[in-house]
Chains A and B, each alone.
Chain A
């Protein structure tokens, strides 16, 4: 029988039991904390950002932070040791530290047209012919457009698939560090951009906005056509790692990018198909929602209750989100990057206390950073955030 490791002396649930409880909107023993960390691993350990491409340095840095400022409940990971794999999930031209950028700069994306307008029709066709493989086929088609050293056709598969397999092997190896310390994996796969947002990223914002007014139905059909391919990819990874959760990214569907009407009409249908398909497999969904989602929250009530987590980054009023949708989905967030980088530990403590009291009321809440933990966050602020779930987060105290 597996040993039940408790993260803190006051805990009565394991991290995995706690995570399942909050997603089902039940009251756990305490509020879980899950910071979203990548570049901060480097700054805390005195590494450059480019060093994080080295598996040994990355792994050492993750455990140093967890052991010294943690623990926390789940490993929210989104690193790849092969830069090209990041473009497999977010099809955009990237500039990486140690490559195009100095080792001390963080990854940045370039807004270029990777996808062409005629690709919408191709995607529908591929989706019809090979539904389960549609995601791979589309992304493999994009790779040579992003990297001039990746060739088209079978050669792009030959380039990407071995790296993909190696990355999965690295993940499997690293996960032990976290499981042995009592944390759980936040998900088996993530973050995968949802189909609609993928088009916005791959086309570039301004061309995509024009597409949306010129041929909205083609976009909608192409997004729907890609869903089986996403389901196949997610199910395969869940089978490999055993955690029945997936993270999906919604970078371009907030009210900062779309009207609530456009969201409901063009982005929501494929999202609902995807979530329903995952529900059939018993897979929960963490939605990484960048930007202001205030006017979309009501529409998200159409997603199944007790299956989804909505991660907010500080741009959405999280307290209002609790009122509007807290009875349908678990809320995750949202200590702002600016507070963690520029504020004081007392401010962080006070804000986290309020989040736990108000958004955490009745369960269904995960304390987290608003989007990624700022690389220039102050260590005492990160500590104050993680400590707050022990100070204020127990439900029976």
Chain B
């Protein structure tokens, strides 16, 4: 049954995935194994996206299916018994309010089992620092679409270092103009061109 659910979400089949999840819950399936199956399916979606077999609409729709499925499963879960792969703090940096890319990355990280703390947009460096500290996050993900965001990314990396968090948390960056040069400028650990790459980087640093 779990295999079927994983395959259906991987095929971005909304109605069939939800029907199968309902059926499994009705049959008394272990809710945790269903969550795991959904995550496995989402990992396949990520792989297909990286292979350019799938595109952004597939990521968005599969993440929606994931959310709807989790909403069905949640009442059957005892609180606190789901496992996470680690805490991630994410936000769009100070001075920039673009949120589509950041939201998709946050959703994909959640779908892949991370405990995601989304700070929203226009986030000052100190807010990143406070959240990274209070959640003991192993990963800080910053987004920015404006070239003016490069400085805010650098300021945030510097603020994390000043707070003594730089050896505890890896920092990844993303957004339209971000590349190797921007990475070097702001002193982060890695950059991702798309949501699948963000998940791959999280897996590398946290899993």
- Give the B-binding residues of A (Cβ under 8 A): 95, 105-106, 108-111, 205-206, 209-210, 212-213, 255-259, 262, 291, 295, 314-315, 336-339, 341-343, 374-376
Give B146 Cβ to nearest chain A Cβ, in Å: 6
Q: Does B176 contact A (CB under 8 A)?
A: yes
**Contact yes or no, A337 B56, CB < 8 A:** no
Q: Chain A residue with minimal CB distance to B176?
A: A315
A221 to B144, CA, bound (A): 35
Determine if B55 is an interface residue (Cβ-Cβ < 8 Å). Answer: yes
Interface string of B121-157 (1 = CB under 8 A from A): 0000000000000000000000000111011000000
The interface size bin for chain B is 20 to 34
- Which of B55, B57, B99, B178 has a CB less than 8 Å from the CB of A111? B99
Q: Are B61 and A210 in contact (CB under 8 A)?
A: yes
Complex alpha-carbon distance, A249 and B1, angstroms: 47
Beyond A108-B96, A375-B147, whether A338 also contacts B177 by CB under 8 A is yes
> Is the beta-carbon distance between B60 and A295 smaller than 8 angstroms?
no
The 6 nearest A-B residue pairs measured at CB: A374-B147, A259-B55, A209-B57, A209-B60, A337-B177, A337-B147
Q: Which of A106, A213, A295, A342 contacts B185 (CB 8 A)?
A: A342
In the bound complex, do residue B181 and residue A338 qualify as a contact, i.e. CB atoms below 8 Å apart? yes
Cβ of B118 < 8 Å from any Cβ of A? Answer: no
Q: Which residues of B contact A (CB under 8 A)?
A: 52, 54-58, 60-61, 64, 95-100, 146-148, 150-151, 176-179, 181-182, 185, 194
Instruction: Tell me whether B181 and A342 are in contact (CB under 8 A).
Output: yes
Chain B residues lying within 8 Å of A257, measured Cβ to Cβ, are 55-57
Number of A-B contacts (CB under 8 A): 74
Of A95, A212, A338, most buried by chain B (CB within 10 Å of CB) is A338
Given A209-B57, A258-B56, verify A110-B176 contact (CB < 8 Å). no
Residue contact A209 to B61, C-beta cutoff 8 Å: yes
A-chain residues with CB within 8 Å of residue B55 when the two chains form the complex: 255, 257-259, 262
Q: Is the CB–CB distance between B96 and A338 below 8 Å?
A: no
Q: A295-B52, A341-B147, A341-B150 are in contact. Are A213 and B181 (CB under 8 A)?
A: no
Answer whether A262 and B181 are a contact pair too, CB < 8 Å, given A111-B100, A341-B150.
no
Report the Cα distance A189→B179, complex, angstroms: 33
Most buried by A among B55, B60, B97: B55
| Beta-carbon contact of A210 and B150 below 8 Å | no
- Contact residues in B for A205 (Cβ distance below 8 Å): 60, 100
Within 8 Å by CB of B146, from A106, A336, A343, lies A106
Chain B residues lying within 8 Å of A212, measured Cβ to Cβ, are 57
Contact residues in B for A206 (Cβ distance below 8 Å): 60, 100
